[in-house]
Structure 1
Amino acid sequence: MKLTAILTILFSLATAVAFSQTENAASKSASAKFEKYYNNHQFDSIFAAFSPQTQIDLPADKTNAFLNHLSNNFGPITRRTFLQYQKGFAVYKTEFEKGVLAISIAADDDAAITGVYAAPYEEDTSTVAARNITPMRLPFKGEWTVFWGGDTKELNYHVVSRFQKNAFDIVVNNPQGRSFNANGKTNEDYYAFGRPIIAPCDAEVVLAVDGVKDNVPGELNPMYVGGNSVVLRTVNNEYILLAHLKQYSTKVKQGDRVKRGQQLGLCGNSGNSSEPHLHFHIQSVENVNKATGIKCYFDQLVVNDVVQKDYSPVKGDKVKAAE
């Protein structure tokens, strides 16, 4: 079998994953096993790490043929970097002794390998703005607290995801620093729930989702990760995502043009969200599989009771619009 044919074999298909592009535990374990066994030339161990169905789909002789061709043409793996999920596969920029490939690995919940393929690695040479060009206001009124925001993993867990690396998760806290009253068992206990979410700038609506149920606090909905969401496109072709809105609260639809300060919906707890909050980020293109996050600076706001101009909030900041 030719190398080009072998490199495009799909061992099996997995469920598509989108939005949150952090490498999960199953992918991390499966890819680490693949690299270890591959570099030690233990191809039988890679086959043993396949799920039962994958072993049927690609028998040991074909697996060994694929891996031997890979090894003979590219040598051992020297470095591997997680990029994103694409159609259920974790995609890694994989540097070999003799070249670079994109290795894609799918895994089930038990970290058994359910799919793997290799393809040429294409470096993204597109120019992405380091920050927003369009002036932005905060997408809400009143004082909110930045739960995740900043440039390091300690400040912002989103940084490991290419398309949402500059995202904010923002909540409403009381003076004691709590985001809810009573026992926090219902969405109505949370101060952010039902608060208006507004357009940060003049823009066109390119996506509006409205029908996803709000979660019970503490539960997640990974099937509809963004939940009820609005995506805006600015005149400078920046794409703004506002996610986890309240069910049936979205007031805009695709194709609408909105003005800065116009209400888009209400803060909710839909999608992959454990409590009512707003997820906000800017990305370079609409397609999350091709997008790169853009750092957002707000033109004027009050941060911890001090007026700031052209400021990008970080974890722990208390922020409100400078009216």
Structure 2
Amino acid sequence: MKKILLIITITLLHNLSFGQTESLNSKKVTEQFETFYNQNEYKSIFEMFSSETKKALPLEKISEFLSGLSSQAGKIVKRDFIEYQKGTFALYKTDFEKGTFGLYISIDNDSKINGILVKAFIDESIPKIERNITKLQLPFTEEWTVVWGGDTKELNYHVESEMQKNAFDIVITDKKGNSFKTNGKINEDYYAFGKKLLAPCDGEIVKIIDGIFDNKIGEMNSTDITGNTVIIKTKNNEYLFFCHFKNGTLKVKEGERVKQGQLLGLCGNSGHSSEPHLHFHIQNTKDINSGTGIKCYFEKLKVNGKMKEDYSPLQNDKILVLKK
């Protein structure tokens, strides 16, 4: 799954440093920014910028940035000042309708905005977990192929994301290595499309997203990034993310307790996905924008025809669950 996070950076000037108490100027400017943002008054926000920032970021560009933010994150619901960073940047833990992000706003000596940054907010108070403690089985019964998996950028582009750094993208391939039959122009051509996805362990369903249409092949939904989604919380506070389910196929509800091997839904092509596949990762919170990824090991499985125990799959591995 490409770019589950919304990260847009605009940085220009760095001036004076403040202490760790929010200044009155920062408070006033940020409150005004929030009001205009929630009202989609992007031109009014543009007028809050310094002259140098206006030159670097014309109205069309800043409007595109803000409308994209609104589309992916929604309106601002709550905002808490955390600290000053990088000179004049005030960091706010900001709850948007669709998740929590870090909002950084810098102002100059004339109380004009000269820098803005929106990125994932990592809650340092939540304990980080290096690897899963809960014993997991693969979430499918047939042999699948790992497209992205491992600890290096070459093996797994997810490593650049704090939340998804240990994620997997997995498909089904034939003997020729193709993930589709015929010409691969429709979802039904893909071997993974409509395949059953199962709970890897016992747990609680803490979040579902449903009702998102599957994409046409080669097209991606940049608004509903994860697509139809299921998140399972284990007894060890690990949050298992399953993304891109086929629309209308989820078989679980929020608050439901599930057992290992229970049907969650069918593999699809919803969200930021170019072809049917499973995106799976574990993190330490259910908020996909503020967690830290956890490396995933499966208890017993076949990898390229050989039995493995306590194994974390790598790119190009062909993986199959060991039947008990």
TM over 0.5: yes
For structure 2, list consecutive stretches of 5 or more residues without a partner in the other structure: 1-16, 39-49, 63-83, 107-112
Other structure's SS at 2:188 match = helix
User: Is contact 2:53-2:114 (8 Å) kept?
Assistant: no
* Separation (CA, whole Å) in 2 of partners of 1:117 and 1:219: 28
* Separation (CA, whole Å) in 1 of partners of 2:313 and 2:187: 26
2:24 aligned partner: 5
* Separation (CA, whole Å) in 2 of partners of 1:154 and 1:53: 35
Per-residue CA deviations over 1:220-247 (Å, capped at 9, x if unaligned) read 0111111111100101111101010001
* Separation (CA, whole Å) in 2 of partners of 1:321 and 1:104: 49
Change (3 A) 1:174 1:124: same
1:68 aligned partner: none
Change (3 A) 1:243 1:85: farther
Change (3 A) 1:53 1:189: closer
User: Is contact 1:138-1:200 (8 Å) kept?
Assistant: yes
2:81 aligned partner: none
User: Is contact 1:54-1:114 (8 Å) kept?
Assistant: no
Aligned residue runs from structure 1 range 258-297, under 5 A: 258-297=258-297
RMSD of aligned residue pairs (Cα, Å):
3.6
- The amino acid of 1:52's aligned partner reads L
Per-residue CA deviations over 1:29-84 (Å, capped at 9, x if unaligned) read xxxxxxxxxxxxxx7533412333899xxxxxxxxxxxxxxxxx98879xx9xxx9
* Separation (CA, whole Å) in 2 of partners of 1:184 and 1:315: 22
2:176 aligned partner: 176
* Separation (CA, whole Å) in 1 of partners of 2:222 and 2:318: 29
For structure 1, list consecutive stretches of 5 or more residues without a partner in the other structure: 17-42, 56-72, 93-101, 106-112
* Separation (CA, whole Å) in 1 of partners of 2:95 and 2:144: 34
2:204 aligned partner: 204
2:53 aligned partner: 46
Aligned residue runs from structure 1 range 124-273, under 5 A: 124=124, 126-273=126-273
Change (3 A) 1:192 1:302: same
1:98 aligned partner: none
Shift of 1:85: 10
* Separation (CA, whole Å) in 2 of partners of 1:230 and 1:5: 42
Change (3 A) 1:175 1:125: same
Shift of 1:162: 1.1
User: Is contact 1:12-1:115 (8 Å) kept?
Assistant: no
Shift of 1:127: 2.6
**Structure 1 vs Structure 2: percent identity of aligned residues?**
46
1:321 aligned partner: 321
Per-residue CA deviations over 1:230-281 (Å, capped at 9, x if unaligned) read 1001011111010100011100001111110111000000111100000001
- The amino acid of 2:141's aligned partner reads K
* Separation (CA, whole Å) in 2 of partners of 1:136 and 1:236: 12
* Separation (CA, whole Å) in 2 of partners of 1:176 and 1:85: 48
* Separation (CA, whole Å) in 1 of partners of 2:85 and 2:246: 50
Other structure's SS at 2:53 match = helix
Change (3 A) 1:45 1:146: same
**Which stretch of the first structure deviates more once superposed, 291-300 or 7-16?**
7-16
Shift of 1:115: 6.7
User: Is contact 2:139-2:197 (8 Å) kept?
Assistant: yes
- The amino acid of 2:24's aligned partner reads A
1:312 aligned partner: 312
Shift of 1:164: 1.2
